[in-house]
Amino acid sequence: MNSETQQHHLRVEVADWMTAHLSGEFACLQYRGGPGDEEAYPALRKKWERELASGGWTGLGWPKEQGGRAMSVADQVIFHEEYARAGGPGRMGHIGEGLLGPTLIACGTEDQRKRFLPGILKGTQFWCQGYSEPGAGSDLANVRTRAVRDENGNWRVHGQKVWTSLAHDSDWIFVIARTDAESRGNRGLSFLLMLLDQPGIEIRPIKQLNGGAEFNEVFFDGALAAAEDLVGTPGDGWRIAMTLLGFERGMSTLGQQMQFIRELEWVVDAAHEAGVANDPLIRQRIARAWSGLRVMRYNALRMLAGADADEGGGALGREALIYKYYWSNWHRELGQLAMDVLGPDANVIDRADAKRTRLQGVFLFSRADTIYAGTNEIQLNIMAERGLGMPREPRGTQ
Ligand SMILES: Cc1cc2nc3c(=O)[nH]c(=O)nc-3n(C[C@H](O)[C@H](O)[C@H](O)COP(=O)(O)OP(=O)(O)OC[C@H]3O[C@@H](n4cnc5c(N)ncnc54)[C@H](O)[C@@H]3O)c2cc1C
């Protein structure tokens, strides 16, 4: 079978599987979940993860010896496109499967891989990311959470994380903590895996402006991280943390674009319904949004092909530098366009009007897109320094 035929078969197989399985009790999950809608059916979406796993649709890019399917980038793209086209729900297992799993494969011990990868693959163990702190966001190296060894050689963690997405729905958290009390900046940090349900950890939800509470503050007061749950060596945490971030721009971005296509369709429908489809400025902005989507798609394919050649090791090319900046600003503009199309109605909340509510949701959540996974200003700094070779800005703490 040539690769085009094989890819066509895969596309049909995924589409058929989604039709057959995103039905019955899972039907209500269609188009639900994901950023801005994480509070939709969390328990059922976890069950859906197990459904995906039993169909063999987790760990697609992971090596076979780690329980994955070692699929090519092209095949993974097909899966994510068909998943999104069918309205597959936002993935509860994304942080484990997309971020921690590949990091443990790259940097973990055999024992860590044995203990953690199966639960991630089977959709029975959920993870969250404990990086940001009140004084360490863009300047992540300023982490103050500290871990000290106890008499048994384990680590006791003290401090606070913030903006921890889905901590309240997770089983485990990976944490960057300072294990060398004398150190500054990105030295002396370690990467720890911690069970969330234990004495010494308190999770407090943060209420968002869209009414939800998808992320949390997480407080550590002497909580335990077992000696064998430190990834790499003490002091090597920055390298591990950066390896993980290299996986953040991964494959699922293509599925995200299918969601963007759908949102643009909602905006076009709303323009017709609001009688502004003939407004020349609105039409131009819609056309610009459409062309932006095409640019995004081809840039993502270029970026992922580069990552494939690098076997996902995190050394993404220049395309990756512009990618996050491009999609997040595109999405924020789409949210603004949606509000302009709705006109004065955009200012009124009416939960009975599902179409209006979903566009308001796009607007509100898209404001966060240019903050998480690197703010606009940080992305521009990175492009200037790494892409264009301009002088590094002064770093106070490194
Ligand atoms: C929806 C959402 C989900 C998140 N989920 C998680 C999560 O699960 N786990 C986690 O650890 N974190 C999470 N975060 C936190 C996110 O990583 C941080 O918000 C982000 O890194 C920015 O840090 P900060 O909020 O501390 O802002 P700051 O770093 O304080 O930045 C404030 C402003 O200053 C600007 N600025 C900062 N430094 C510079 C500079 N050197 N040059 C120019 N301008 C600068 C920034 O661009 C920004 O405009 C999430 C955030 C959001 C919005």
Please indicate, yes or no, if residue 152 is contained in any of the structural domains. Answer: yes
Given 49, 81, 214, 248, the catalytic residue: 248
CA of 141 to the centre of ligand 1 (A): 13
Determine the Cα–Cα distance for residues 13 and 346; give it in Å rounded to an integer: 40
Q: Are residues 216 and 334 in the same domain?
A: no
Amino acid 208: pLDDT = 86
Amino acid 313: pLDDT = 41
Q: Are residues 258 and 381 in the same domain?
A: yes
pLDDT in tens, 5-45: 999 999 999 999 999 999 999 999 998 998 888 989 999 99
Per-residue pLDDT in tens (0 to 9) along the chain, 398 residues: 678 899 999 999 999 999 999 999 999 999 899 888 898 999 999 999 999 999 999 999 999 999 999 998 889 989 998 998 999 999 999 999 999 999 999 999 999 999 999 999 999 999 999 999 999 999 999 999 999 999 999 999 999 999 999 999 999 999 999 999 999 999 999 999 999 999 999 999 999 877 789 999 999 999 999 999 999 999 999 999 999 988 876 666 777 888 899 999 999 999 999 999 999 999 999 999 999 999 998 888 888 777 655 544 444 567 778 888 999 999 999 999 999 999 999 999 898 999 999 999 999 989 999 999 899 999 999 999 988 999 998 775 54
Query: Comparing C-alpha atoms, which of 104, 109, 91 is closest to residue 50?
Result: 91
CA of 211 to the centre of ligand 1 (A): 20
Amino acid 317: pLDDT = 66
Contact 244, 231 (CB under 8 A): no
Please indicate, yes or no, if residue 186 is contained in any of the structural domains. Answer: yes
Task: Determine the atom of ligand 1 nearest the C-alpha atom of 167.
Answer: 8
Q: Indicate the burial class of 1 (C-beta count within 10 angstroms; 0-12, 13-18, 19 or more).
A: exposed
Task: Determine the atom of ligand 1 nearest the C-alpha atom of 161.
Answer: 11
Q: Are residues 62 and 156 in the same domain?
A: no
Please indicate, yes or no, if residue 61 is contained in any of the structural domains. Answer: yes
State whether residue 178 is helix, strand or coil: strand
**182 flagged as catalytic:** no
Please indicate, yes or no, if residue 120 is contained in any of the structural domains. Answer: no
DSSP 12: H
Other residues' Cβ atoms within 10 Å of the Cβ of residue 194: 23
Q: Are residues 272 and 378 in the same domain?
A: yes
Q: Are residues 186 and 287 in the same domain?
A: no
Please indicate, yes or no, if residue 118 is contained in any of the structural domains. Answer: no
Interior/surface letters 215-254, b for 16+ CB within 10 angstroms, e for the rest:
bbbbbbeebbbeeebbbbebebbbbbbebbbbbbbbbbbb
Please give the tally of structural domains in the chain: 3
Residues with Cβ within 8 Å of 194's Cβ and at least 6 positions away in sequence, in order, are: 130, 157, 172, 173, 174, 175, 201, 223, 224, 225, 229
Contact 172, 119 (CB under 8 A): no
pLDDT in tens, 152-169: 999 999 999 999 999 999
Residues with Cβ within 8 Å of 16's Cβ and at least 6 positions away in sequence, in order, are: none
- CATH code at position 193: 2.40.110.10
Q: Indicate the burial class of 264 (C-beta count within 10 angstroms; 0-12, 13-18, 19 or more).
A: buried
CA of 122 to the centre of ligand 1 (A): 32
Please indicate, yes or no, if residue 102 is contained in any of the structural domains. Answer: no
**Rg over CA atoms, the chain:** 22
Mutation probe of ligand 1 site: the residue of 39, 131, 132 with most atoms within 8 A of C-beta: 132
- Report the predicted TM-score, pTM, of the whole model to 2 decimal places: 0.93
Residues with CB under 6 A from ligand 1: 128-132, 137-138, 163-165, 215, 368, 371-372, 375, 377-378, 381, 393
DSSP H helices in the chain: 3-21, 42-54, 73-85, 94, 101-107, 110-122, 237-246, 252-273, 280-309, 318-342, 354-369, 376-382
| Closest protein CA for atom 25 of ligand 1 | 137
Query: Comparing C-alpha atoms, which of 114, 390, 373 is closest to residue 244?
Result: 373
Amino acid 77: pLDDT = 85
Contact 296, 327 (CB under 8 A): yes
The residue type of 32 is R
Please indicate, yes or no, if residue 254 is contained in any of the structural domains. Answer: yes
Interior/surface letters 114-128, b for 16+ CB within 10 angstroms, e for the rest:
ebbbebbbbbebbbb
Mutation probe of ligand 1 site: the residue of 375, 377, 381 with most atoms within 8 A of C-beta: 375
Task: Determine the atom of ligand 1 nearest the C-alpha atom of 128.
Answer: 8
CA of 376 to the centre of ligand 1 (A): 10
Please indicate, yes or no, if residue 397 is contained in any of the structural domains. Answer: no
pLDDT in tens, 48-102: 999 999 999 999 999 999 999 999 888 998 999 899 899 999 999 999 999 999 9
Mutation probe of ligand 1 site: the residue of 371, 393, 397 with most atoms within 8 A of C-beta: 371
CA of 216 to the centre of ligand 1 (A): 14
